[in-house]
C-alpha cells in the first residue's frame, strides 16, 4: 500500500508504549496494532485526531505516501 504509518516512530520519540497510547486514544491495543502495522484499510478522522493529540504531533508525522513500484520496473 502506498500509505505508510509511522506510529512506531512517534511512540519511540515520546517514549510511550502501545498500551499507553491505546488507553489515551480510547481504542484497543489490537486495533492500534492493526493500524500501526499498516494492515488497516481506513482510519477515522476522530481516531487520527486523538492519535495526534496523544502524541502531540501532526497527521503528517504519522502518515506518509510512498510510490509503489511500477509494473515491470
Does residue 64 surpass a pLDDT of 90? yes
How much is the pLDDT for 70?
63
First to last CA, the chain: 17
How much is the pLDDT for 9?
94
Does residue 73 surpass a pLDDT of 60? no
**How far is the C-alpha of 27 from the C-alpha of 7, rounded, in Å?**
14
Q: Write down the domain spans for the chain.
A: 3-64
- The predicted model scores a pTM of 0.87
Place 24 in a pLDDT band, splitting at 50, 70 and 90. Answer: very high
Exposure on the CB side of residue 21, measured as CA atoms within 13 A: 28
CATH number for the region 3-64 comes to: 1.10.260.40
CA distances to 45, 56, 65, 69 from 20, rounded to whole Å, are 20, 14, 27, 36
Amino acid at each position: 500500500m502506498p500509505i505508510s504509518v509511522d506510529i512506531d516512530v512517534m511512540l519511540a520519540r515520546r517514549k510511550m508504549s502501545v498500551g499507553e497510547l491505546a488507553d489515551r486514544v480510547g481504542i484497543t491495543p489490537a486495533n492500534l496494532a492493526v493500524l500501526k502495522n499498516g494492515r488497516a484499510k481506513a482510519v477515522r478522522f476522530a481516531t487520527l485526531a486523538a492519535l495526534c493529540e496523544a502524541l502531540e504531533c501532526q497527521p503528517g508525522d504519522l502518515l506518509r505516501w510512498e510510490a509503489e513500484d511500477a509494473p515491470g520496473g
